[in-house]
Amino acid sequence: VSTQSTGSSGINAEYGKQWYQRRVRDNICKMLFVSLVSLVLLGRVIPAPTTGTTDPVWEPTTGPDITSTSAPSDNICDEVLFGAGPLNANYGQDIAHRLHSMTVEDIKYYFGVSVTLDNGIPTVNTNLTANAQRVLPDAPVAGYDGAFLTQAMKQLDKVLSNMDDPDWAIVNYSLVEKIAHSFHMSELWARSKSHFDMLAMEPLPEEVCECLTSSQSDVIPALELLALKIKFPGLTSGQDTPPAAPPAAGRKGDIGKAYKLYIETGKEGPAGSPRVSRSADQSAPGYDIYAAHVPKTPDEYSLSIDVEWNKEYRRHLRNFDFTGTDEDVIRKAREELVDGDEGLEEHLDSEAGWDAWREGFKNMDDFGNYQFAAYMHCKLR
């Protein structure tokens, strides 16, 4: 018995020694790792000395006073957004396009954040009845059927469950077009997620978020304009014909003008006024809400004639009064917000139609997804 006890004690002692040695090695490795991370972070906080010209450093103390309702957003905040963002002059349109059908469930699924009903994520009202509020201050609950596992089936069920309602979602879209639209938005949100995750690791300066989410940014005016175009396609075309209106309840099969779902830039610039002329050889896909050419740098922003027009239109849009009845706003928008957008030119009723839609989707710039991710980053952080 004595021999067995001694042997057991020796085994336990040897095991304890090995365990202790492993703990020491593990702790040393952890300390080395923490030290290495600290050095990396310290190097990012205190830049190494350099010679010659260096990139400008963002100074938080120079941020704009956006708490004042009279703050010159088009001057100070543009410098902030286009410099430290970095966003471009098309950020309002890009963000509005990706916001307009967002729901509470979509925010959770694509961005991993649970929000309340008072979430502050604005979107376009899917209720298109006369004089209904066009832009909602908070993303609504979609009410997806939880019996379905995939997001695709949940969205398909949502569209098909409203197929008999002519005042739902988008004017003059066929059932196939509404399904395509739903899947297209999912594609944009999924593509925005990688940018959103990147910004979680490299957060934007507070001043950028303050400007981007303030009441003086381009986002809400662009969303208001988008809501008008969804409900009254062709409204800002500059043509004398009245814009398309939501069809009477129960009317089916009469598909006319509709909202241009996909965006292409670089087609053409303005001809010296807010009315953008259309060349005879311009391809059908395109949603030119402002100027067609949108720069990616502040320098190009200040030098481009097209962008100077864009800048003036953006300022005008921010000052436009979107309140009032549908009739009042339609009258004002037809006179003051002309941009040459005639609405959808190719319906999704053939393979040729799908070719046009597919190319329009594929040609959309991924930078728009970054700009939307920046907005969601600021709203949800």
Query: Where does the pLDDT of residue 40 fall: very low under 50, low under 70, confident under 90, or very high at 90 and above?
Result: very low
Residue 67 in this model has a pLDDT that exceeds 70: no
Averaged pLDDT of the chain: 75
For 209-263, what is each residue's pLDDT tens digit?
999 999 889 999 999 999 999 999 999 998 876 665 555 443 344 445 666 555 4
Cα–Cα distance between 250 and 197 in angstroms, integer? 44
- What DSSP state is assigned to residue 279? -
Q: Which two tokens stand for residue 55?
A: 């990139």
Name residue, tokens 């908070």: 138
The closest alpha carbon to 264, from 171, 359, 186, belongs to 359
* Residue 157 scores a pLDDT above 90: yes
Q: Tell me the mean pLDDT in the region 162-179.
A: 95
Grade residue 84 by pLDDT with cuts at 50, 70 and 90.
Answer: confident
Q: What is the mean pLDDT of the segment spanning 164-188?
A: 95
pTM for the whole thing?
0.70
Q: Is 168 helix (H, G, I), strand (E, B) or coil?
A: strand
- Residue 354 and residue 231: Cα distance in Å, rounded? 23
Q: What percent of the chain has pLDDT over 70?
A: 62
Mean pLDDT of the region 78-89? 89
CA–CA separation, 233 and 235 (whole Å): 5
Q: Read off the pLDDT of residues 91-121 as tens digits, 9 standing for 90 and up.
A: 999 999 999 999 999 999 999 999 999 999 9
Q: Can you spell out the DSSP letters for 103-145?
A: -HHHHHHHH-----SS----EE-SB-STT--SEESSPPP----
Would you say residue 24 has pLDDT above 60? no
The b-or-e profile of 9-30 (16+ CB within 10 A means b, else e) is: eeeeeeeeeeeeeeeeeeeeee
Note the pLDDT tens digit of each residue in 287-346. Answer: 222 323 333 333 433 333 455 668 888 999 999 999 999 999 999 999 999 988 888 888
